[in-house]
Amino acid sequence: MKIKFKVRLLPVAFLAMILPVSAQFTYNSPYSRYGIGNLYQVVNAHNAAMGGLKYGINGAYLVNPSNPASYTAFRKNYFTFDAGLNGSAARLTAGSKSRDEGHFNLNNLAFGVPLGDRWGGAFGLIPFSSVGYSISEHNLHPDFGGYNTIYEGNGGINRAFAGLAAKITPDLSVGVNANFMFGSLNYIRTVVFDSTYYLNLRSRQSRIIHDVSFDAGLQYNKILNESRGISLTAGVMAGIPSRLSGREDILTETFKYSGSNVVVIRDTVENVSGAEGTMNLPLQLAGGVSLKRAERWMAGVDFAWQDWSGFSAFGTVDSLKPAFQMAVGGEYKLNSILLRAGLRYQQSYLEIRSNQLNEVGISFGVGLPVYNKNYSVSMISMGLEAGMRGTTDDGLIQERFGRLWLGFTMSQERWFKRREYN
């Protein structure tokens, strides 16, 4: 008797294609200059279409790393693959001036694995934060005359996660994620004098992060009416405070422009390479509740809080504030199509000129089932969001944005299919 294994190659090929893509997937925003940049609040297209709802939900084919306790809901013997793309477009307005920005890139990649009757696990890659901005201002100095200061930034932090969950009782699950946080935050400040008599100055600063953080969650699932299939799910999540290790590189140089605007370095003012440091992530507390009727509808609400007031990075302290977020959303099954909608409100960790920046968004989307003979369950999800962040008061910048999420979920009974021949 010979035994052969037939490996389903589509997910592996897709993984190989998109893994090299960096995780900086947002439009350029001047507010990403502060803290660790813009924080990602949405995990996948499924969550995005429901206002970012994520802490009190689970599903047989839903990989939800926002609450690792949800992994016990995976359907037995079905391995789930989930990947998605995210596109965003924004109009940035300050006074009478405006500018348009836009990007499109990878958003998430995850696998869900059932491990018997009581256990489940998941692993994948999602973005955590992003930095992207370019700001220029002109000033006058009584001794040196006019000069331009240009602030630029790029990069971000990615989160590679692996989690495990277990059912303590038939109704209560507990889970934990180990997250490898990695990436670089890059900042450039350039001073260019109007007069060619003075040397210009450019300072480059890069912070490279590579360390582990943890988060844990609980979910309680209770059937309220078995005959009608109505059930309640309540979940809580705690992001454990972490001090992420990394290194910092700083290079400051004076320069001149040649006749063809080529930079000619004149002197090195500071050169620091590989200086060790840390960046601290504060405690995060979150929870959510959802009510659903099997195969028909689901509605839920989420809350999240994180105190960033004690944040520091490589010895530098930013004046950040506690952040708060609330989301409401749900889905309704019409024939075989899932219709989704949601609202969210976020009070960010940024307070500039006595204005704490708020963000609001309204979203909707669909889940379209795809059937074929090779894969047991497939779903294409799309989410759209329109929202606004910030204000034009006190000379600040307001961002009006639109976002698109596209996701593909595939759940198959056997990815490694054994066939026997006599």
Q: Could you write out the DSSP letters of every residue in 44-102?
A: SHHHHTTTT--TT---TT---TTSGGGGGGSPTT-EEEEEEEEEEEEEEEETTEEEEEE
In whole angstroms, how large is the CA radius of gyration of the chain? 24
pLDDT at 372 over 70: no
Q: Is the pLDDT of residue 7 over 60?
A: no
**Interval 331-342: pLDDT, tens:** 999 998 999 999
Annotate 310-349 with DSSP letters as a single string. T-EETTEE----EEEEEEEEEEEEETTEEEEEEEEEEEEE
Residue 254: is its pLDDT beyond 80? yes
Sequence-ordered list of residues with C-beta below 8 angstroms from that of 197, at least 6 positions apart, any chain: none
pLDDT interval class at 22 (50, 70, 90): very low
From its phi and psi, is residue 125 left (phi > 0), alpha (psi between -120 and 50) or beta?
A: beta
Give the pLDDT score at 395. 86
CA dist., res. 332 & res. 223, Å (int): 19
Closest CA to 385 of 327, 314, 305: 327
Q: Which residues pair with 205 in a beta bridge?
A: 187, 250
The pLDDT of residue 374 is: 60
Total residues found in the chain within this entry? 422
Closest CA to 255 of 264, 242, 245: 264
Average pLDDT over residues 150-174: 96
- Residue 27's pLDDT is what? 63
User: Is the confidence at residue 99, as pLDDT, over 50?
Assistant: yes
User: Average pLDDT for residues 146-164, to the nearest whole number?
Assistant: 96
Give DSSP secondary structure letters for 292-312: EETTTEEEEEEEEEEE-TT-E
Q: Are strands 242-257 and 230-239 parallel, antiparallel or unpaired?
A: unpaired
pLDDT value of position 261: 82
Average pLDDT over residues 155-162: 96
Residue 80 is predicted with a pLDDT of 93
Q: What is the pLDDT of residues 81-96, one digit of tens each?
A: 999 999 999 999 988 8
Residue 10 reports pLDDT greater than 60: no
pLDDT of 34 above 80: yes
The percent of residues above 70 in pLDDT, for the chain, comes to 90
pLDDT above 80 for 2 = no
Q: What does pLDDT average to over the chain? A: 89
- pLDDT-derived band of residue 290, with 50, 70 and 90 as boundaries? very high
Once rounded to an integer, what is the mean pLDDT over residues 186-195?
A: 95
Share of the chain above pLDDT 90, in %: 72
pLDDT at residue 271 tops 90: yes
* Model pLDDT for residues 376-387, shown as the tens digit of each residue: 678 999 999 999
Highest mean pLDDT among 80-94, 101-115, 236-250, 371-385: 236-250
pLDDT recorded at residue 42 = 80
Give 78's contacts (C-beta < 8 A, 6+ positions apart).
60, 61, 114, 376, 377, 411, 412, 413
Q: What is the mean pLDDT of residues 189-197?
A: 93
Q: Return the pLDDT at 294.
A: 85
For 313, the token pair is 């990075």
User: How much is the average pLDDT of 203-214?
Assistant: 97
pTM of this structure: 0.88
Residues 6+ apart with CB under 8 A from 74: 60, 61, 80, 112, 113, 114, 120
